[in-house]
Amino acid sequence: MFKSLVSKLNPVQLSCGFHTTACMNEVRLLSRLRVVDNSEIGKRAMAEGKPPKVICVYNKKHVGYIGDRVLVAIKGQKKKGILVGMKQKQSVKVPKFDSNNVVLIDDNGTPLGNRIHVPIPTILRTILKEKTHSKGADYTKLLAIATRFV
Amino acid sequence: MALAIRRSTSEVFGAAKWFIRRDCRALSTLPEKAVEVPVEKKRDRPVVSRIRANARNPNLALRHVYPEFLPDPNPKWRNSLREKLERTDMLNRRKQIDIPEFYVGSILAVTVADPHAQGKTNRFVGICIERKGAGLRAEFTLRNVVDHQGVEVRYDLYDPTVHSIQVLRLEKRLDDKLLYLRDALPEYSTFPFDMDPEILPDGTPVPVNPVQVKLKPRPWLERWERQELQGVSNIEEHLKEKDRVRRELRKEPWEKYDLMKQYRKTIPIEDQNDIWAEVNHQLKQLQLTRKKVSRKRTFGVPKTQLG
Amino acid sequence: MVTGSLNLLRNSFNKLRIDHIFSRSFQTPRYRPPYWYEPKERVPSEEFITQENKQFIEEVMQDKLQQQASLHSPLVNIDSSKAAEWNPQTRRVGLIARKIGNYPLWTKDGKKVLTTLLQVVDNHVIRYIPPEEFSPMVTKKYVWKEKNKLGCLLVGSETIDPSTVTKEYCGLFNNAGMLPKRHLFRFMVSPESYIPPGTPLQATHFRVGDYIDVRAKTMDRGFQGVIKRWGFKGMPASHGVTKTHRRPGNIGSGGEKARVWPGTKMPGHMGNRWRILRGVKILRINTKHNVIWTLGVAIPGETGAMCYLFDTILPLKKHTTSPAFPTQPFVEDLPLEYYDESVQPFEEQSITFEEN
Q: Give the pLDDT band of residue C167 (cuts 50, 70, 90).
A: confident
Positions of chain A with pLDDT lower than 50, given as ranges: 1-15, 19
CB contacts of B76 in chain C (<8 Å) are 302-303
Q: Which residue of A has its CA nearest to B156?
A: A92
Higher pLDDT, C234 or C9: C234
Supply the pLDDT for residue C144. Answer: 59
What share of chain B in percent tops pLDDT 90? Answer: 65
Asked whether residue B4 carries a pLDDT value surpassing 60, the answer given is: no
CA distances from B268 to B52, B70, B271, B281, C292 (A): 19, 10, 6, 21, 29
Any chains having at least 3 CB pairs less than 8 A from chain B are A, C
Supply the pLDDT for residue B297. Answer: 67
Higher pLDDT, B40 or C174: C174
Supply the pLDDT for residue A70. Answer: 95
Q: Give the pLDDT band of residue C131 (cuts 50, 70, 90).
A: confident
* Interface probe with C: pick from B69, B76, B82, B99, most Cβ of C within 10 Å: B82
Out of A13-17, B97-101, B144-148, C41-45, pick the least confident: A13-17
Asked whether residue B86 carries a pLDDT value surpassing 90, the answer given is: yes
d(CA A23, CA B220): 8
- What mean pLDDT is predicted for residues C149-169? 88
CB contacts of C346 in chain B (<8 Å) are 89-90, 92-93, 96, 158, 160
CB contact under 8 A, C352 and B160: no
Q: Give the pLDDT band of residue B29 (cuts 50, 70, 90).
A: very low
Out of A17-26, B9-18, C263-272, pick the least confident: B9-18
Asked whether residue C4 carries a pLDDT value surpassing 80, the answer given is: no
What share of chain B in percent tops pLDDT 70? Answer: 78
Q: What is the ipTM of this complex?
A: 0.82
Supply the pLDDT for residue C146. Answer: 54
pLDDT in tens, B208-226: 999 999 999 988 988 999 9
Asked whether residue B33 carries a pLDDT value surpassing 60, the answer given is: no
Interface of A with B (CB under 8 A): 2-3, 6-7, 9-10, 13, 15, 20, 22-23, 36, 85, 90-99, 101, 117-119, 122-126, 147-150
d(CA B211, CA B173): 8
CA distances from C243 to B246, C238, C246 (A): 31, 10, 8
pLDDT in tens, B159-210: 999 999 999 999 999 999 999 999 999 999 999 999 999 988 888 899 999 9
CA distances from C343 to A91, A101, C110, C278, C339 (A): 20, 36, 9, 21, 6
Supply the pLDDT for residue B21. Answer: 46
**B114 located within any domain:** yes
Instruction: Return the HEC string of chain B.
Output: CHHHHHCCHHHHHHHHHHHHHHHHHHHCCCCCHHHHHHHCHHHHHHHHHHHHHHHHCHHHHHHHHCHHHCCCCCHHHCCHHHHHHHHHHHHHHHHHCCCCCCCCCCEEEEEEECCCCCCCEEEEEEEEEEEECCHHHCEEEEEEEECCEEEEEEEECCCCCEEEEEEEECCECCCCCCHHHHCECHHHHCCCCCCCCCCCCCCCCCCECCCCECECCCCCCCCHHHCCCCCECCCHHHCCHHHHHHHHHHCCHHHHHCHHHHHHHCCCHHHHHHHHHHHHHHHHHHHHHHHHHHHHHHCCCHHHHHC
Asked whether residue B126 carries a pLDDT value surpassing 70, the answer given is: yes
Out of A11-20, B104-113, B297-306, C109-118, pick the least confident: A11-20
Closest residue to C110, CB basis, from B92, B113, B119: B113
Asked whether residue B37 carries a pLDDT value surpassing 60, the answer given is: no
**B3 located within any domain:** no
CB contacts of C347 in chain B (<8 Å) are 92, 95-96
Higher pLDDT, B2 or B260: B260
**B156 located within any domain:** yes
**B12 located within any domain:** no
Give phi and psi for B83, each to the nearest 5. -65, -35
**C211 located within any domain:** yes
CB contacts of C110 in chain B (<8 Å) are 113, 115, 159-161
Instruction: State which residues form the domain around B177.
Output: 31-306
Q: Give the pLDDT band of residue C150 (cuts 50, 70, 90).
A: confident
Asked whether residue B11 carries a pLDDT value surpassing 70, the answer given is: no
d(CA B297, CA B166): 15
pLDDT in tens, C232-248: 999 999 999 999 999 99
Supply the pLDDT for residue B9. Answer: 47
Supply the pLDDT for residue B45. Answer: 44
CB contact under 8 A, B154 and A90: yes
**CATH code for the domain in which residue B106 is found:** 2.30.30.790
Q: Which residue of C has its CA nearest to B90?
A: C346
Supply the pLDDT for residue C65. Answer: 85
**C253 located within any domain:** no
How many domains, in total, are found in chain B? 1
pLDDT in tens, C339-350: 999 999 999 999
CB contact under 8 A, A98 and B148: no
Q: Give the pLDDT band of residue C175 (cuts 50, 70, 90).
A: confident
CB contact under 8 A, B146 and A85: no
User: Quick check: A93 and B155 in contact, CB under 8 A?
Assistant: yes
User: Quick check: C181 and C125 in contact, CB under 8 A?
Assistant: no
Closest residue to C103, CB basis, from B97, B136, B160: B136
Out of A129-138, B113-122, C31-40, C43-52, pick the least confident: C31-40
Higher pLDDT, C331 or A19: C331
Supply the pLDDT for residue B57. Answer: 72
Residue B97 touches chain C, beta carbons under 8 Å:
yes
CB contacts of B143 in chain A (<8 Å) are none
Q: What is the mean pLDDT of chain C?
A: 85
Distance from CA of C350 to the nearest CA of B (A): 5
Interface of C with B (CB under 8 A): 100-101, 103-104, 106, 109-110, 112, 117, 119, 286, 289, 291, 302-304, 344-355
d(CA A6, CA B12): 13
**C356 located within any domain:** no
CB contacts of B113 in chain C (<8 Å) are 110, 350-353
Supply the pLDDT for residue C148. Answer: 65
Domain spanning A24-144: CATH 3.40.190.10: no
Instruction: State which residues form the domain around C129.
Output: 121-201
Asked whether residue C142 carries a pLDDT value surpassing 80, the answer given is: no
β-sheet bridge partners, residue C71? none
Residue B44 touches chain C, beta carbons under 8 Å:
no
Asked whether residue B40 carries a pLDDT value surpassing 90, the answer given is: no
CB contact under 8 A, B78 and C346: no
d(CA A94, CA A91): 6
Higher pLDDT, B307 or A39: A39
CB contact under 8 A, B151 and A117: no
B253 cis-preceded (ω within 30 degrees of 0): no
Asked whether residue C37 carries a pLDDT value surpassing 80, the answer given is: no
**B26 located within any domain:** no
What share of chain C in percent tops pLDDT 90? Answer: 51
- What mean pLDDT is predicted for residues C3-28? 57
Single out the residue in C179, C201, C223 at which a domain terminates: C201
**B268 located within any domain:** yes
d(CA B93, CA B161): 11
Higher pLDDT, C43 or C254: C254
Whether C109 and C228 map to the same domain: the answer is: yes
CB contacts of B137 in chain C (<8 Å) are 103-104
pTM of the model: 0.82
- What mean pLDDT is predicted for residues C145-170? 83
Give phi and psi for C119, each to the nearest 5. -100, 130
Out of A104-113, B22-31, B266-275, C46-55, pick the least confident: B22-31
Q: What is the mean pLDDT of chain B?
A: 82
d(CA C313, CA C317): 8
pLDDT in tens, C72-123: 777 766 666 666 789 888 999 999 999 999 999 999 999 999 999 999 999 9
CB contact under 8 A, B79 and C289: no
Asked whether residue B32 carries a pLDDT value surpassing 70, the answer given is: no
How many domains, in total, are found in chain C? 2
What's the DSSP call for residue A149? B
**CATH code for the domain in which residue C128 is found:** 3.30.160.810
Count chain B–chain C contacts defined by CB atoms under 8 A: 74
CB contact under 8 A, C104 and B136: yes
